[in-house]
Structure 1
Amino acid sequence: MVFMATMKDVAREAGVALGSVSRVINHAPGVKQKTIDKVNAAIKKLNYVPDEYARGLKVKSSKTVALILPSIWNLFFAEFAYYVEKYLAEKNYKLLLCNYSNNPKAEQHYIKMAKQNKIDAIICITYDDLDKYFYAGIPLVSIDRYFEQKISYVTSENYEGGRLAAEELLKHGVKHPAFIGTYNHNPSDVMKRHKGFAEYLSEQGYEFADVYLLEPVTKEKEETELFKLLDKNPEIDGIFCNTDSLLLDVKNWLAQREISVPEQIQLIGYDGIKPDFNSELGISTIRQPLPEMAKCAVEMVIEKVEQHRDEQRIERFPVSYIEGNTTKNI
């Protein structure tokens, strides 16, 4: 049986009161240096590890932030989680990763944890109707989604990204553009990708076809609707997919029909995801500055926790076009 030292063991070893050990561990002011030295020496000798969770209950802080995601299988969400954990660690905070798998009840459970002070704050990517579960007492930062209540959120310039995708398709020689993507009943900046795409093409005198489906939607439904669109509009030679993950699906579906990319249909996605953190995915896409967005979300939520600031902040980050192998060389 492995011996796990307790705070009482540390106090006994150091020859000080239990309260003195607690004050040293929590960096309380006014503790004599001699006491600090004794306690630290005892901690080292006994290999004592403080119970961070128990400390958090006493000081109303667990130094833990929950990141609520729809799915960790999505490359965009996985990469975002990586950077959130990285920047939280730099601030001496821990990450609780909450993968709710499109289950609103699971989201509600994590929000309840925050109300019980088991976690300090929430960073979330959610598309569900959770307004009634949020209140001013939960430090929260949303990604893309905005709410009726004035909750802070971080997003990219989605409207400009949609315009940029349309501009690049036309630059690459596309004459008959199309759009494929999904939208949600709840308001989200992501929907502005479709609006920006549509308005740029209208300004340039182009019409476009689209598959714009209300979530939730299956991949099978997206594939079926895409081919209905192509059967009705065989002249389509360029498609803007509103996420990179969708672009990869579309590329595979086209290959099954022996439609070559980019020779017959050019594709541009949105996100700028990577298969790993050292190489590009290889597709043409509108890149969001994911590390900067994650860092901003972390700074915003910690500011809310430590400075008790509850005013709304909105941060939008510029996007850029990345040339890849799903568009023709120009």
Structure 2
Amino acid sequence: MVTIRDVARFAGVSVATVSRVINNKGYVNSDTRIRVVQAINQLKYRPNDVARSLFKGKSKMIALFVPDIMNPFFPELARAVEDVCNVHHYTFVLCNTDNSIEKELTYLNALQQKSVDGIIIVSSTLKKEHIEEVTVPIIALDRTFGVELSTVKVNNREGAREATEYLKLLGCQCIAHISGPKNASNTEERKQGYLDVVKNDDWFSCNYIVSGNYNLQVAKGVITKLLERHPEIDGLFVANDVMGVGAIKAAEELGINVPNNLSIIGFDGISLGETTSPTLTTIAQPIYKMGSRAAEMLIELIINNDSQKKTEEFSVQLVERQSTRPRGREE
């Protein structure tokens, strides 16, 4: 493998001169610079990024942890982070954790050994003691941890209230909630928003809340059982769009007409919701903006070494589609 010393010998200059040319730092006269560049090209020299990162203590690398790459929400988020990384000349690394604490800790250890500059984490399993051991800047995205970190999220509780109130406005008399995994912070926030609206209604029962674990197949199964046990349910607030698709499929297999007999609203605003039949009404998050802002905040932390914690909370938007009955129409 060609080394920087080989380039220096070929160009007839010192190793320090080659280093100045590569890093574009310090004075090198134009003739010498041309010789060095020609030597690099002829020898096909490529700088050793690992060695340079060890020397500088920086890798120009940012990692994003996501719990389920099969959920379309996370590729959309990842695209935004990657775009910002590219603009600032950072290498982007995507880590799919499968909601496994073992995988998350393995990634954390490996990335720190490679001098990763910063990490954006979407996690439901990492704990305070795990985060406190990390020596590089971290941004929490979409979910919060039991430790003070800079965070980018949406107002989940308010969005859930809006979703549930919307179903009431449409005339739904019995509204159930399909929640996410128990250990995800946004699961609790969305459930609380639902409860804010319905907990004092005469018909309400905790039996109308079941967990679909943010997974399509899991949600489809639990929703099928829920609707079979409680045929009175005429509205579903589903805590993410992937489960919302599961709800539509469950209703279809049970012969329940959506939206005439059952209105369904999801949460996220992913493009998958536009491809279902009927299309999925949803509370849309500004996914690209969230990912972009998380990446920008992380790069600011890396460059400025600023320890001040920030929380940026985005608003959500109701997107009306075909899975809910039209406004003003009550059975």
TM-score scaled by length of structure 2:
0.87
Paired position in structure 2 for 1:270: 267
Paired position in structure 2 for 1:154: 152
Paired position in structure 2 for 1:91: 88
- Structure 1, unaligned stretches of length 5 or more? none
Paired position in structure 1 for 2:49: 52
Distance 2:56 2:193 in 1: 47
Paired position in structure 2 for 1:259: 256
Paired position in structure 2 for 1:24: 21
Q: Aligned-pair distance for 1:215?
A: 5.8
Distance 1:89 1:25 in 2: 20
Distance 1:212 1:185 in 2: 14
1:321 to 1:203, Cα distance in 2 relative to 1, 3 A: farther
Q: How does 1:127-206 map to 2 (within 5 A)?
A: 127-135=124-132, 137-185=135-183, 188-202=185-199
SS at match of 1:134: helix
Tell me, yes or no, if the aligned pair for 1:61 and 1:117 is still in contact at 8 Å. Answer: no
Distance 1:65 1:137 in 2: 14
Q: How does 1:65-80 map to 2 (within 5 A)?
A: 65-80=62-77
Q: Aligned-pair distance for 1:103?
A: 2.1
Tell me, yes or no, if the aligned pair for 1:114 and 1:121 is still in contact at 8 Å. Answer: no
Match of 1:106 among 103, 106, 110: 103
Distance 2:99 2:152 in 1: 21
Q: Aligned-pair distance for 1:47?
A: 4.1
Distance 2:62 2:300 in 1: 12
Higher mean C-alpha deviation, range 297-306 or range 202-211: 202-211
Paired position in structure 2 for 1:246: 243
Tell me, yes or no, if the aligned pair for 2:157 and 2:193 is still in contact at 8 Å. Answer: yes
Q: Aligned-pair distance for 1:252?
A: 1.0
Distance 2:144 2:262 in 1: 34
1:40 to 1:217, Cα distance in 2 relative to 1, 3 A: closer
Q: Aligned-pair distance for 1:33?
A: 4.5
Tell me, yes or no, if the aligned pair for 1:155 and 1:189 is still in contact at 8 Å. Answer: no
Tell me, yes or no, if the aligned pair for 2:178 and 2:212 is still in contact at 8 Å. Answer: no
1:215 to 1:250, Cα distance in 2 relative to 1, 3 A: closer
Q: What RMSD in Å do the two structures reach over aligned CA positions?
A: 2.7
Distance 2:155 2:194 in 1: 12
Tell me, yes or no, if the aligned pair for 1:185 and 1:214 is still in contact at 8 Å. Answer: no
SS at match of 1:84: helix
Q: Aligned-pair distance for 1:80?
A: 1.0
Higher mean C-alpha deviation, range 236-245 or range 320-329: 320-329
SS at match of 2:288: helix
Distance 2:81 2:190 in 1: 24
Q: How does 1:6-45 map to 2 (within 5 A)?
A: 6-45=3-42
SS at match of 1:230: helix
Q: Aligned-pair distance for 1:56?
A: 1.4
2:285 aligned with 1:288: yes
Distance 2:212 2:73 in 1: 20
Distance 2:128 2:17 in 1: 44
Q: Aligned-pair distance for 1:270?
A: 0.4
Tell me, yes or no, if the aligned pair for 1:261 and 1:326 is still in contact at 8 Å. Answer: yes
Tell me the percent identity. 32
Match of 1:211 among 200, 206, 209: 209
Paired position in structure 1 for 2:294: 297
Question: CA offsets, 1:272-291, max 9 Å, x none?
Answer: 01149xx7763110000011
Q: Aligned-pair distance for 1:205?
A: 7.9
Match of 1:327 among 317, 320, 324: 324
Question: CA offsets, 1:232-263, max 9 Å, x none?
Answer: 43221110100000011111112111112112
SS at match of 1:83: helix
Tell me, yes or no, if the aligned pair for 2:215 and 2:242 is still in contact at 8 Å. Answer: no
- Structure 2, unaligned stretches of length 5 or more? none
The code of the aligned residue for 2:93 comes to L
1:76 to 1:215, Cα distance in 2 relative to 1, 3 A: closer
The code of the aligned residue for 1:147 comes to F
Q: Aligned-pair distance for 1:218?
A: 9.2
Distance 2:315 2:178 in 1: 22
1:54 to 1:238, Cα distance in 2 relative to 1, 3 A: same
The code of the aligned residue for 2:318 comes to Y
Distance 1:169 1:189 in 2: 20
Q: Aligned-pair distance for 1:87?
A: 1.4
The code of the aligned residue for 2:314 comes to F
